Chain A
Amino acid sequence: MIPMDTTRFVPVAGVAFTLLLLGAWIAGCTGTPSEGTIPLTSPRPMAEGPRGTLLMATTTSLYDTGLLDFLRPDFEKEFNADVRITSQGTGKAMELAKRGDVDILLVHDPAREIAFMDEGYGINHRCFAYNYFIIVGPASDPAVIAGMKPEDAFRKILTEGIKGTAGIAFVSRGDGSGTHAKEQAIWKAAGFNYTVDVQKTGAWYIEAGKGMGETLVMASEKGAYTLTDEGTYLAFKGNLQLTPLIEQGEILRNVYSAITINPDRFPNQNATLANQFITYLLRDTTQQKIASFGKDRYGKGLFSALQGADCVRFGCDCTALAGG
């Protein structure tokens, strides 16, 4: 197995690594001049004036649709800053924000946002966009819920599911995401105690513990119902045997908010840039971009602008920031 040879190991390993590192370095230099080297502490050499960095934690449904990468370049140009976005799910995003690891938070879980503000972690809580969740299921619709009020539909699925009616199942995200929070809010509005009346009441209720795309695939494979954001559904539609059955209902509304992390808690926070980003989101031109996003790819916008009267009606704050 081990060849008995007298050449020296250290030079061999050294040559190997030098070659590999050299190769990587050369590739880095020729391939992508600006990103080729690994910065150890500061992001990149500052050529003209200090370039800021805004670290953003966001929910997957907002980032994975591509909206933020669509809005990012104009902001970066205007404010001479890099926007670094990490999309990790609402629970994780909020945890990062509480630890001071990011400067700004973009999420969609009103109840947890209020708690976050009450605990003093954030300032400048503003709503900037909304859309609607939809309830999807097999075209055969075994529980006959198409067009029902969401609360009534959930009640019917649960009743039929517990009864053991053949072909009735519901797949839940089960991962503490914003979508999972919305699902629990609907169960509550339908008059059920989530942990007692819904969870573990039978094989009909499946907790996936996965992202939206994987949950949709699971629902499709099992011929089950599920709650989803429209963007992910449209992105996966081609691979799914699921049809939108309920698209109307106040409770399905999904409002996205931005929060600047409180700079008093973490002194090095980039609060100025974070506030500038919120101001940017609330601008008319940005709102028009939000409303147009997705039309070319899906034939319809994935998000609606959120300003003025709508904002008041939703109980949100969309007012301009002081001094913004």
Chain B
Amino acid sequence: MNEILEGLVQAVHLIVTLNPEVIEISVRTLEISLLSTAIATIVSVPVGGLIHFREFRGKRVIVTLIQTLYSLPTVIAGLFVFLLISRAGPFGFLRLLFTPAGMVLAQSLLILPIMAGLTLTALSGVDRSKRDTIISLGATETQTVLSLIHEARFAILGAVVLGFGRAISEVGAAMMIGGNIRGFTRVLTTAIALETSMGNISLSLALGIILLAIALAVNLIVMLVQQERVPHD
């Protein structure tokens, strides 16, 4: 119980005194997670849109596969990317292992399925008649997909927020691909794992609180953007 209080006090202290190492780690965490989420969004929203709109053989299989990958363990995502970019692997020549870029790659892959799947769900939530109207007005396929995505934008934004949440909170892939290298690939989750194994329990809790504070800030910005655009919803 004492440690939890100590953790809270330490978190406030670290934030107020602008502890340089904590700030550096937090900024890196935010950069990596945001970039991963941005890449995953750029890929998953159009892919989700296409899968939803097109009828093709094996569609149900693909949807089931995507939904199964929601359960992809972060360590396995990390291991998969590790085998690809390790020097002995097929993309070893890129030297991405133990770099922030490698971490972005792993996190993007990790959150792609959940974001594509939730985009699909969001599009399915759009009124059927709306879709028929759009098509009957003579829209091309691209226009139709764009209009549907536009209709479902808030649910899709929810998918983006969830993807960001999974990226910023995961430790398995970050540890395996980044290697928790101080001053280079150490992010909040791997720092928490390290501090815990060093016995610095209250500092771990403090870093956890800072991670949640960052997530809160990101969510608040998203909320503000939503509200500004929809004043009379």
* Residues of A bordering B, CB below 8 Å: 1-5, 7-10, 12-13, 15-17, 19-21, 23-25, 27-28, 31-32, 35-41, 43, 55, 60, 64-66, 69, 82, 84-88, 96, 99-101, 211-214, 232, 235-236, 238-239, 266
CB distance from A233 to the nearest CB of B (A): 10
**Counting CB contacts under 8 A, is B128 at the interface?**
no
Given A16-B225, A19-B225, A38-B104, does the pair A24, B201 have CB atoms closer than 8 Å?
Answer: no
Interface 9-mer from B51-59, B60-68, B110-118, B190-198: B190-198
Q: How far is the CA of A214 from the CA of B193 in the complex (A)?
A: 11
Which chain B residues lie closer than 8 Å to A25 at the CB level?
A: 31
The contact sample of 27 A-B pairs, CB cut-off 8 A, is: A7-B229, A7-B230, A9-B152, A9-B156, A10-B150, A12-B225, A13-B41, A13-B156, A13-B157, A17-B38, A23-B221, A24-B30, A24-B34, A27-B30, A32-B24, A35-B184, A38-B31, A39-B100, A41-B101, A55-B98, A84-B98, A88-B175, A99-B88, A100-B86, A101-B97, A235-B199, A239-B201
- Whether the Cβ atoms of A12 and B98 lie closer than 8 Å is no
- 5 other A-B residue contacts (CB within 8 Å) besides A12-B153, A43-B99, A101-B97: A19-B225, A38-B101, A40-B99, A88-B179, A101-B98
Which chain B residues lie closer than 8 Å to A8 at the CB level?
A: 150
Q: How far is the CA of A101 from the CA of B211 in the complex (A)?
A: 30
* Residues of B bordering A, CB below 8 Å: 20, 23-24, 27-28, 30-32, 34-35, 38, 41, 86-89, 92, 94-101, 104, 122, 125-126, 146, 149-157, 160, 175, 179-184, 194, 196-199, 201, 218, 221-222, 225-226, 229-230, 233
Which chain B residues lie closer than 8 Å to A84 at the CB level?
A: 98, 179, 181, 184
Checking A1, A24, A101 against B86 with a beta-carbon cut-off of 8 angstroms, the contacting residue is A101
Checking B38, B125, B183 against A35 with a beta-carbon cut-off of 8 angstroms, the contacting residue is B183
Which chain B residues lie closer than 8 Å to A40 at the CB level?
A: 99, 101
User: Which of A1, A24, A39 has the most chain B CB within a 10 Å cutoff?
Assistant: A24
- Whether the Cβ atoms of B194 and A64 lie closer than 8 Å is yes
CB distance from B12 to the nearest CB of A (A): 19
Which chain B residues lie closer than 8 Å to A21 at the CB level?
A: 34-35, 38
- Whether the Cβ atoms of B181 and A235 lie closer than 8 Å is no
Which chain A residues lie closer than 8 Å to B233 at the CB level?
A: 3, 5
- Whether the Cβ atoms of A9 and B20 lie closer than 8 Å is no
Instruction: Please give me the 7 A-B residue pairs with the lowest Cβ-Cβ distance, nearest first.
Output: A86-B179, A9-B153, A235-B199, A9-B150, A100-B87, A99-B88, A236-B199
CB distance from A50 to the nearest CB of B (A): 16
- Whether the Cβ atoms of B87 and A1 lie closer than 8 Å is no
- Whether the Cβ atoms of A13 and B198 lie closer than 8 Å is no
Checking A17, A38, A214 against B100 with a beta-carbon cut-off of 8 angstroms, the contacting residue is A38
Checking A43, A88, A99, A101 against B184 with a beta-carbon cut-off of 8 angstroms, the contacting residue is A43
Which chain A residues lie closer than 8 Å to B180 at the CB level?
A: 86-87
CB distance from B44 to the nearest CB of A (A): 12
Checking B30, B87, B181 against A99 with a beta-carbon cut-off of 8 angstroms, the contacting residue is B87
Which chain A residues lie closer than 8 Å to B30 at the CB level?
A: 24, 27
Q: How far is the CA of A35 from the CA of B185 in the complex (A)?
A: 10
- Whether the Cβ atoms of A5 and B230 lie closer than 8 Å is yes
Which chain A residues lie closer than 8 Å to B94 at the CB level?
A: 41
- Whether the Cβ atoms of B230 and A3 lie closer than 8 Å is yes
Which chain A residues lie closer than 8 Å to B152 at the CB level?
A: 2, 9
Which chain A residues lie closer than 8 Å to B196 at the CB level?
A: 213
Q: How far is the CA of A79 from the CA of B35 in the complex (A)?
A: 34
Checking B88, B157, B201 against A100 with a beta-carbon cut-off of 8 angstroms, the contacting residue is B88
Which chain A residues lie closer than 8 Å to B221 at the CB level?
A: 16, 19-20, 23
Q: How far is the CA of A126 from the CA of B27 in the complex (A)?
A: 39
- Whether the Cβ atoms of B150 and A239 lie closer than 8 Å is no
Which chain A residues lie closer than 8 Å to B184 at the CB level?
A: 35, 43, 82, 84
CB distance from A157 to the nearest CB of B (A): 25
CB distance from B223 to the nearest CB of A (A): 10
- Whether the Cβ atoms of A28 and B27 lie closer than 8 Å is yes
- Whether the Cβ atoms of A41 and B150 lie closer than 8 Å is no
